[in-house]
Structure 1
Amino acid sequence: MALKSTIYKVQLQLADMDRHVYADHSLTLARHPSETEERLMMRVLAFALHVSADDTHGQLEFTKGLSDVDEPALWHKDLTGQLLHWIELGQPDDRRLIKAAGRAERVTVIAYAASTPVWWAPLQGKLSRAPNISVWQIPAEQSQALAALAQRGMNLQVTVQDGIVWVGDGEHSVQIEPVKLTP
């Protein structure tokens, strides 16, 4: 018998002062049996950092993710179905990223494992020919602290100011400082 996904409900209050995006979002996420809570929370963080202020040019959406190897963790398509933004999590290989760069206007990678420098070293030169790819690192201790906030029902407040992200659930708070690896 196959294991079923676990459903997480998130009430997200976003105040992104860097991008002037202020909104409340009700999110329902299915956590694949092989997905960790750390990756699940990185999906929530990626959503908060990249959601648009309005839906006039389509919406940022969670994809099938781990259930479909041809899709990223999140993507933003315009109203015609054109792929505007492809968002990957973890440490995808260079061929996947180059292919995504050909399909989408923008590609963002959010790496969060302690092994990110080892993964990034050989890819850095290969990805320089795709200027629409940006790679960010979330320090492992910060992503693990974020994972500790995971619950089946969450009320999260996310504040972004001067490139620093604070995520809180009313009782605990995590400060996240993304590091840009691409120029």
Structure 2
Amino acid sequence: MALKATIYKADLNIANMDNHQYGDYQLTMALHPSETIERLMVRILAYARFADDALEFTKDLFETDEPALWQKDLTGQLIKWIEVGSPDEDKVKKASARCKQVAVVTYGNSVDEWYKRNSKLKTLSNVQVWKLSTATTEALPQLCARTMQLQLNVMDGEWTIIGDDAQVLVEWEQLQ
């Protein structure tokens, strides 16, 4: 019998003073049996970075042709494609040809090596690559619960995400 996904819900309140973006988002995510809590929480941060009511979590690990998040226009055309982790360069290149905006949110110890190895990414003008620090991703699981209340504050470039029992300073580096 195959293992089933575990459903997580997050009420995410964003107060981004830098971009004057404020909003409340009710997120429902499926945790794939092979996925870690760390990756689940990185998906929430990826959502927060590109927050929009039309942005959706996809089947991601259940469907290998899909990113972690995407946004479609009213006609169903893809406009945002957001990957989490260290995806295959060809998948990102293909997404770049299909979408106006493509982003990769990377994390882990091998990000720098992955980015050097995938040099074709640097030629794609509509692709952003963001790297989360190891300290951030190691601290994120302490915010996780099956039902979460999360507050994200952004001020002067500093991101802080606050949960019921802890808060985490989010350190981003834009590689591209």
Match of 2:172 among 168, 174, 178: 178
Match of 1:70 among 50, 57, 65: 65
Match of 2:145 among 127, 151, 161: 151
Who is 1:40 aligned against?
Answer: 40
Return the offset for 1:64: 0.5
Return the offset for 1:121: 1.2
Amino acid aligned to 1:78: D
Q: How many residues align?
A: 176
Whole-angstrom CA distance in 2 between matches of 1:78 and 1:20: 23
Match of 1:127 among 121, 126, 137: 121
**Seq. identity, %:** 47
Match runs of 1:92-111 below 5 Å: 92-111=87-106
Whole-angstrom CA distance in 2 between matches of 1:148 and 1:115: 23
What TM-score results when the alignment is normalised by the length of structure 2? 0.95
What TM-score results when the alignment is normalised by the length of structure 1? 0.92
Matched, 1:90 2:89: no
Q: What are the superposed Cα offsets for residues 79-122 of structure 1, whole Å, 9 maximum, x if unpaired?
A: 11111110000001211110010011111000011111111112
Who is 1:141 aligned against?
Answer: 135
Tell me the secondary structure at the aligned position of residue 144 of structure 1. Answer: helix
Amino acid aligned to 1:90: G
- 8 Å Cα contact 2:142-2:166 kept in structure 1: no
Root-mean-square deviation (CA, aligned residues, Å) is 1.1
- 8 Å Cα contact 1:138-1:178 kept in structure 2: yes
- 8 Å Cα contact 2:139-2:168 kept in structure 1: yes
Who is 1:80 aligned against?
Answer: 75
Who is 2:55 aligned against?
Answer: 60
- 8 Å Cα contact 1:11-1:154 kept in structure 2: yes
Whole-angstrom CA distance in 2 between matches of 1:142 and 1:75: 24
Whole-angstrom CA distance in 1 between matches of 2:99 and 2:165: 39
Amino acid aligned to 2:170: I
- 8 Å Cα contact 2:143-2:165 kept in structure 1: no
Return the offset for 1:163: 2.6
Return the offset for 1:161: 2.1
Tell me the secondary structure at the aligned position of residue 65 of structure 1. Answer: coil
Tell me the secondary structure at the aligned position of residue 67 of structure 1. Answer: coil
Whole-angstrom CA distance in 2 between matches of 1:151 and 1:64: 20
Whole-angstrom CA distance in 1 between matches of 2:86 and 2:15: 28
Runs of 5+ in structure 1 lacking a partner? none
Tell me the secondary structure at the aligned position of residue 148 of structure 1. Answer: helix
